[in-house]
């Protein structure tokens, strides 16, 4: 399956299916015809070998969100320079969202812009992170606060490699898939959100999510307005993730697990603001549960600290901005009162204490 991301001269294809990683050399030859060297960025535990069709040097980065740092980005760029990589060559990112975010940012920065191709090896990477050209790293003040919009030349989503994923990586990918269940209408599909996406074959699941994202990205490449919708559930999710950067938090959440919590939180906040009713909140819980995900707020989460991270969210313009459901569907809402956010977090904490999933 091929899903195009229509961006004019930056147009590229997302190629989805079993074994498509073996098309990498062909893809590089077609999309980066001047490349004579490649830098393959991956992680030790991924275990996916690729052949870019040109001589290459392999660079490994650590596991986890800690790898998405300015220090690691500098190390990669220095390695690229030492290997003789030029601006006409290509960076190949082989891995999940951590690898594609980090390698993509390094490619965007090295010699002010070097081509890159993503070979996504996780469900999260295939349905979301590897597509759309948002690259970046974390700093202590928040997640993905330093980065660049830099579109890949192609994305290969090999569904064959997903068979070896551990359960929590499947859960992480399904958190993003649950988000797309609420964004189907954005791409012209009607009907109430549900978990019917899981009834499709795995390549069809990936293609459906990629098609929704491609439609949004094509209309708003740099997140001026419409692309913010792709961050549904992410404002709290990113705050929960950022809270772990200093090691003080007592929880460990994969990105998609945090998004699942963020989706239900966003629904509860929308209800508090009078945008949706109880039934719509229940639907969010039903959809999240349908993807076999929980929506419990981690114990010990500090509401004030979470709000401080939310205020630094990339969508915010010196205010609290959330993507919220409402009468017209999901949309960005600015100027949310911090008191409403804190009250919703307290409500969610009470429900978690009462044992709600």
Q: Which residues are catalytic?
A: 112, 134, 176, 213, 223, 227, 231, 234, 238, 255
Task: Give 330-337's long-range contacts (Cβ < 8 A, gap of 24+).
Answer: 330/182, 330/183, 330/185, 330/186, 330/229, 330/232, 331/229, 332/225, 332/228, 332/229, 333/273, 333/275, 336/269, 336/273
Q: Are 266 and 324 in contact (CB under 8 A)?
A: yes
Give the residue from 70, 231, 77 showing the smallest Cα distance to 141: 70
Question: Any residues with CB less than 8 A from the CB of 84 and at least 6 apart, and which?
Answer: 37
- Rounded Cα–Cα distance for residues 306 and 291 (Å): 25
- The kind and range of the H/E element at 105 are helix 97-109
Hey, which residues does 14 pair with through a beta bridge?
3, 155
The number of residues making up the chain comes to: 357
């Amino acid at each position: 399956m091929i899903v195009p991301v229509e961006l004019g001269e930056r147009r590229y294809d997302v190629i989805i299916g079993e074994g498509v990683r073996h098309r990498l050399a062909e893809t590089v030859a077609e999309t980066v015809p001047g490349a004579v060297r490649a830098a393959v960025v991956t992680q030790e535990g991924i275990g996916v070998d690729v052949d870019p069709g040109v001589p290459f040097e392999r660079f490994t980065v650590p596991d986890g969100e800690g790898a998405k740092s300015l220090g690691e980005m500098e190390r990669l760029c220095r390695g690229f320079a030492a290997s003789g990589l030029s601006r006409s060559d290509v960076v190949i990112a082989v891995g999940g969202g951590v690898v594609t975010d980090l390698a993509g940012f390094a490619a965007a920065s090295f010699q002010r812009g070097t081509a890159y191709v993503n070979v996504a090896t996780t469900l999260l990477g295939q349905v979301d992170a590897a597509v759309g050209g948002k690259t970046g790293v974390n700093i202590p003040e928040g997640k993905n606060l330093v980065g660049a919009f830099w579109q890949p030349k192609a994305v290969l989503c090999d569904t064959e490699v997903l068979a070896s994923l551990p359960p929590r990586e499947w859960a992480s990918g399904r958190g993003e898939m649950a988000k797309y269940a609420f964004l189907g209408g954005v791409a012209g599909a009607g009907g109430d959100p549900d978990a019917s996406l899981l009834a499709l074959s795995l390549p069809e699941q990936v293609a459906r999510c990629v098609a929704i994202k491609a439609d949004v990205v094509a209309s708003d490449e740099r997140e001026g307005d419409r692309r913010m919708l792709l961050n549904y559930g992410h404002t709290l999710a990113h705050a929960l993730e950022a809270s772990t950067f200093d090691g003080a938090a007592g929880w460990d959440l994969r990105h998609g697990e945090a998004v699942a919590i963020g989706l239900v939180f966003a629904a509860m906040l929308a209800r508090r603001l009078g945008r949706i009713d109880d039934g719509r909140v229940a639907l969010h819980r039903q959809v999240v549960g349908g993807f076999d995900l929980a929506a419990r707020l981690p114990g010990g989460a500090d509401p004030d600290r979470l709000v401080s991270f939310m205020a630094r969210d990339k969508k915010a313009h010196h205010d609290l901005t959330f993507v919220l459901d409402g009468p017209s569907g999901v949309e960005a809402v600015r100027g949310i009162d911090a008191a409403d956010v804190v009250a919703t977090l307290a409500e969610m904490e009470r429900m978690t204490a009462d044992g709600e999933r």
